[in-house]
Structure 1
């Protein structure tokens, strides 16, 4: 897929969309897919050329720059973000996508990303074709991917940051329901957004990086890959181990860092006035100095931060779990995932908040204990793990080796302290100095620079699980 994006101060109404659709001349057929959320332009033989996503109103400053780069040229918020995707199957698709986006901005103002893709040309498209088997299968399946085999859906992507947008979320859901693997193939300069990296992690999905010389490797593990039997598989050494690509292994460690705060809040007494997201807001404010800037279900994150609206959205989806994203302000990179789910004990909020820091910025480790005390005393904290890792300040993920995060502290919530017994929780191994925080117990593990903290955390976990008989 080749993406072209129209960023406009005015909403693309039906007339503007129709003008864009005429970019392909009379031989192009238009049809709605995904319940009309996407308008697809097809060649005369039915092959998809361009998909035009439903416009998204973005209220959150900095999202275009975060995902498209500093030269995105987005209007002042709020503005409309319209994705136009060109298929890799036909050479006419890319200029057609540029013409659709160019016509939208010609009518509505704003800018096209990338800027050199915009045009007002009418792009002739073929009325018939000897389409290959893979392309035909892809069209019949209604899956907007570049290659579809019996086991794998392959998406070709080339943009600064490949993100967990609505289209990618739908692809992930669709391939998972079909029992397929999703493999995203990119050039080596492409990075993943943190939410997509999290969603893509684990078999059978894979990030495939294509280096020069038509060589491939896994962007997250570094394993050399080859196309075999309709999927990318690891290249094994003589000893049966996965070979690691040299560009991945030779990467120098980052001098920037990320602070990762993962915690669970359990609301045992669920009432009509329950408001979700407040614990995340408290953590964000304690560590970043401000509340989140926005929330949403995909990237770009488009809605201004509101715990009331967030709660209403999760309540509409209940009893199904709700997966949400939150983003910070441009001057302090921060992203969070929030999962709201019903459990036997009530309603749980599982949060992972990640904040980025430059080489000469100090992560606020001294604020962690006070945050743990607040969440334990007011918000029903079950547990909280804080860790630090060497990684990019902007929170994007390059296809390079990155060391795992190192634990900084662990906090055990009051319910588990009562279940295990206060005396046992206050006598951990290895001479740790636990701190009582109201009903909770907090365990400092280090400053995030010594990997031996993982061993200490494992031994602490074994100690807490070994509840004395009584």
Structure 2
């Protein structure tokens, strides 16, 4: 192996272009030390490999942080290694981290898994004293879980009592530097995870909110998540949404994922903000069924509902049939709005 130097206490091994952080924690959180390692490695042009036993789980925030920093999760199988999401077993970490994902994605739930709703929403705030941070998370949780965030912080575990005023004040003190926050919300189905990223833009401030909401259902029952497009529509009326997407996925009820889970994401709804509608040249007068205009008639925002037509009339589909029908519905609406809209929302990257 080539020598790689990165002075950090969590580095347990080095390789050609990567460093290894090994932990046997049952739940691997996005702690301050791990966040520091990932950011330092990215600045040094290195990839971090988080090496765990196969039984470990990652929090939603830690999993997202690995994706943002192009890092990898590898599990140890006795004296061999396997990348999370792959069945390919390798003799060394370097080979394992480069292995392609080979687990077949399925809409069915894996062992110990429950349905999730995942939402990613970016909103614009003007650069004014009236701008607040954290309201998007509150609105999403109020609409989907009848609750709100309980605690927040810059790393996990979140220990500060939730307050939009405090979150906003903290973000302003850090400006113009970007700010990343995590929050948690106890719900009837488990623990919801929220991640917020705030950064300056050319015309104000962009706040990106990522919500992972476990929603367990009774044995044998199906998740419908019919209210998700309605919640997105309400959000588009209340805030200046740039883009938003919502999906059904799965994981554990504490918003953690295992190395063996690779669910098929199922599209639930989306928002194309007014600025994107204008830039894409979408004519609001030619909208197909399933696309709703919200806001000023001249340049509205658009909310997309991927509920299959049959389900609108009360039909019940199996989990797999529901997933395929929603993907077909996305394709139909995507054809109507154009490939640039589909690319902008990132739908093509999720399957």
Place the TM-score, normalised by the shorter chain, in its bin: 0.7 to 0.9
Residue in structure 2 matched with residue 442 of structure 1 by the alignment: 303
Report whether the alignment pairs 1:201 with 2:201.
Answer: no
Q: CA deviation at 1:398?
A: 0.7
**Residues 69-468 of structure 1 correspond to what in structure 2 (within 5 A)?**
141-201=7-67, 205-212=71-78, 214-227=79-92, 231-234=93-96, 242=100, 244=102, 253-254=110-111, 256-267=114-125, 269-329=126-186, 331=188, 332-360=190-218, 365-420=225-280, 423-424=283-284, 426-428=286-288, 432-438=289-295, 439-446=300-307, 449-454=322-327, 456-458=329-331, 460-461=333-334, 463-465=336-338
Q: Is contact 1:296–1:302 with CA below 8 Å preserved after alignment?
A: yes
Q: Of the two structures, which has the highest relative contact order with CA contacts closer than 8 Å and spacing of 6 or more?
A: 2
TM-score by length of 2: 0.79
Task: Report the secondary structure of 1:276's partner residue.
Answer: coil
TM value normalised by structure 1: 0.60
Q: CA shift at 1:375, angstroms?
A: 1.9
Structure 2: where are the runs of 5+ without partners? 309-318, 341-351
Separation of aligned partners in 1, 2:8 and 2:304: 51
Q: Name the SS for the 2:131 alignment partner.
A: coil
Displacement of 1:226 after TM fit? 2.9
The Cα of 1:378 is off from its aligned counterpart by 2.1
Deviation at 1:168, TM superposition (A): 0.4
User: Post-superposition shift, 1:261?
Assistant: 1.6
> Structure 1 stretches of 5 or more lacking a match?
1-132
Q: Deviations over 1:87-109 (max 9, x none)?
A: xxxxxxxxxxxxxxxxxxxxxxx
CA contact (8 A) 1:321 1:339 kept: yes
Distance change (3 Å), C-alpha of 1:343 and 1:454: farther
Q: CA 1:243 to 1:274, structure 2 compared with 1: closer, same or farther past 3 Å?
A: closer
Supply the distance in 1 between the matched residues of 2:169 and 2:143 (Cα, whole angstroms). 25
Find the aligned partners of 1:425 and 1:412 in 2 and give their Cα distance.
Answer: 15
Pair 1:168–1:302, CA change in 2 (3 A): same
